[in-house]
Structure 1
Amino acid sequence: MSIKYNDVDWLEALNELDGQAVTVDVNRNVAANFNNTYLDQGNHRYGQQFLYNTLSVKQISISLKLTGSNAYFNEVANKIGGFLNVFEPKRLIFGDEPDKIWEAIPSGQPTLTTDNSTSPPTATLSITFDIPKSYAESQTQCLVDNTNNSRYGSITKISNDHYKVKLNNFGSATAYPKFRIKHNSENGWVSIIKSATEAYEIGNPEEADGKNIKKSEILFDYVSNNRITQGFEDGQRNVAILNDTSQDINGTLFLDGAWGRPHIALADRGTGTKGNRGGSITWEIPADSNGEKGSLNEYFWWRQIFWLGSANQYGFMKICVSDTEGKFLYGVETFKRAGGLGCEYNFMVSDGKGGYRMPLRWTFTGTHLDSQNPFNAERGWSDLQRRDDEIQVFWWGSYPRVKVPEIKGRKSAKIHVFFGDMGTSPQVTHMYLDSIVYRKDYIDGWEDIPNRYRMGSVLEVDMAKGKTYLDNLPTMDGLAYLAEPFGIETGETEIDIYFSSWIEKEPDIEVTWYERSV
Structure 2
Amino acid sequence: MGLSVKFNGYELNQYIDVLIGFTPFSGAEWSPELLGDAGLKRGADFSYTTYKQKQIPMPYTVLEDLGEKHDELARILNVDEPKELVFGNAPDRVFYAVPMGDLDFDDYECLGEGVITWLVPDGLAHSTVEKTFPASLNADGILEATIVNRGTESVPVSYEIVHKHENGYLGIVSQYGVMQYGCVEETDWENYKQNEKLVRLSDLSALPDDPGTNYMHPNHVMGGSLVTETIGGKPCLRLRSTGAVSAGKWIGAMKTLTVPADSEGHAGAKNFYCYLNHWFETGLMGQTAEQSIAFLTGDNKVICGYSLFKSDMTGNTACLEFWLNGKIVRSISFAPSSSDNANPFNNGRGHNDIRKEGDKVTFYWFGNYPSYRSSAIRNMECKKIQVAFTQFDSRGLGNKYVTRNYLRSLEFQKMGVEKWRDVPNRYQEGDVVSIDGEAARVYVNGMANTGDEMIGTKYFHVPPGETKVQFYYSSFCNPAPVVTARIKEAFL
What's the TM-score bracket when you normalise by the shorter of the two chains?
0.7 to 0.9
Supply the distance in 1 between the matched residues of 2:21 and 2:442 (Cα, whole angstroms).
43
1:14-93 matches, cutoff 5 A: 21=17, 23-40=19-36, 42-45=38-41, 48-66=44-62, 68=63, 71-93=64-86
Does the 8 Å CA contact 2:160/2:432 hold for their aligned counterparts?
yes
Structure 1 partner of 2:9: 7
Going from structure 1 to structure 2, the CA distance change for 1:272 and 1:423 (only over 3 Å counts) comes to: closer
Does the 8 Å CA contact 2:359/2:376 hold for their aligned counterparts?
yes
Alignment partner of 2:244 out of 271, 286, 289: 271
* Deviation at residue 305 of structure 1 after TM alignment: 2.3
1:430 aligns with 2:398: no
Could you state the TM-score of these two structures normalised by the residue count of structure 1? 0.83
1:188 aligns with 2:168: yes
* Deviation at residue 131 of structure 1 after TM alignment: 1.0
Structure 1 partner of 2:179: 200
Supply the distance in 2 between the matched residues of 1:283 and 1:503 (Cα, whole angstroms).
36
* Deviation at residue 319 of structure 1 after TM alignment: 0.9
Supply the distance in 1 between the matched residues of 2:324 and 2:76 (Cα, whole angstroms).
55
Which deviates the most, 386-395 or 237-246? Answer: 237-246
* Deviation at residue 257 of structure 1 after TM alignment: 6.0
Supply the distance in 1 between the matched residues of 2:120 and 2:437 (Cα, whole angstroms).
22
Structure 2 partner of 1:107: 100
SS at match of 2:338: coil
Alignment partner of 1:456 out of 407, 430, 443: 430
Alignment partner of 1:513 out of 484, 487, 490: 487
SS at match of 1:334: strand
Does the 8 Å CA contact 1:277/1:420 hold for their aligned counterparts?
yes
Going from structure 1 to structure 2, the CA distance change for 1:115 and 1:472 (only over 3 Å counts) comes to: same
Supply the distance in 2 between the matched residues of 1:444 and 1:112 (Cα, whole angstroms).
78
Q: Which amino acid aligns with 1:319?
A: I
Q: Which runs of 5+ in 2 are unaligned?
A: none
Alignment partner of 1:138 out of 97, 116, 127: 127
* Deviation at residue 485 of structure 1 after TM alignment: 1.4
* Deviation at residue 422 of structure 1 after TM alignment: 1.4
Which deviates the most, 237-246 or 468-477? Answer: 237-246
Q: Which amino acid aligns with 1:205?
A: V
Supply the distance in 2 between the matched residues of 1:158 and 1:252 (Cα, whole angstroms).
61
Does the 8 Å CA contact 2:26/2:56 hold for their aligned counterparts?
no
Does the 8 Å CA contact 1:212/1:448 hold for their aligned counterparts?
no
SS at match of 2:420: coil
Supply the distance in 1 between the matched residues of 2:139 and 2:475 (Cα, whole angstroms).
12
* Deviation at residue 341 of structure 1 after TM alignment: 3.1
Structure 2 partner of 1:300: 274
Structure 2 partner of 1:225: none
Supply the distance in 1 between the matched residues of 2:402 and 2:414 (Cα, whole angstroms).
33
Q: Deviations over 1:164-195 (max 9, x none)?
A: 11111222222212112233333222121112
Q: Deviations over 1:130-184 (max 9, x none)?
A: 1112111222221233xxxxxxxx4336799x41111112222222121122333
Supply the distance in 2 between the matched residues of 1:291 and 1:211 (Cα, whole angstroms).
21
Does the 8 Å CA contact 1:144/1:155 hold for their aligned counterparts?
no
Alignment partner of 2:154 out of 159, 165, 174: 174
Supply the distance in 1 between the matched residues of 2:228 and 2:130 (Cα, whole angstroms).
35
Alignment partner of 1:234 out of 201, 206, 213: 206
Q: Deviations over 1:430-464 (max 9, x none)?
A: 21112222222221122444533344332222111
Q: Which runs of 5+ in 1 are unaligned?
A: 15-20, 146-153, 223-229, 351-355
Supply the distance in 2 between the matched residues of 1:47 and 1:277 (Cα, whole angstroms).
85
Does the 8 Å CA contact 1:216/1:448 hold for their aligned counterparts?
no
Going from structure 1 to structure 2, the CA distance change for 1:200 and 1:511 (only over 3 Å counts) comes to: same
Q: Which amino acid aligns with 2:120?
A: I
* Deviation at residue 23 of structure 1 after TM alignment: 4.2
Structure 2 partner of 1:315: 289
Supply the distance in 2 between the matched residues of 1:142 and 1:235 (Cα, whole angstroms).
49
* Deviation at residue 493 of structure 1 after TM alignment: 0.9
* Deviation at residue 386 of structure 1 after TM alignment: 1.3
Alignment partner of 1:156 out of 137, 142, 149: 137
Going from structure 1 to structure 2, the CA distance change for 1:457 and 1:440 (only over 3 Å counts) comes to: farther
Supply the distance in 1 between the matched residues of 2:69 and 2:273 (Cα, whole angstroms).
62
Going from structure 1 to structure 2, the CA distance change for 1:236 and 1:47 (only over 3 Å counts) comes to: farther
Supply the distance in 2 between the matched residues of 1:242 and 1:31 (Cα, whole angstroms).
68
Q: Which amino acid aligns with 1:372?
A: A
Structure 2 partner of 1:151: none
Q: Which amino acid aligns with 1:314?
A: T
Supply the distance in 2 between the matched residues of 1:507 and 1:76 (Cα, whole angstroms).
56
Paired residues in the alignment total: 483
Structure 2 partner of 1:417: 387
User: What percent identity do the matched residue pairs reach?
Assistant: 25
* Deviation at residue 417 of structure 1 after TM alignment: 1.7
Alignment partner of 1:212 out of 191, 199, 204: 191
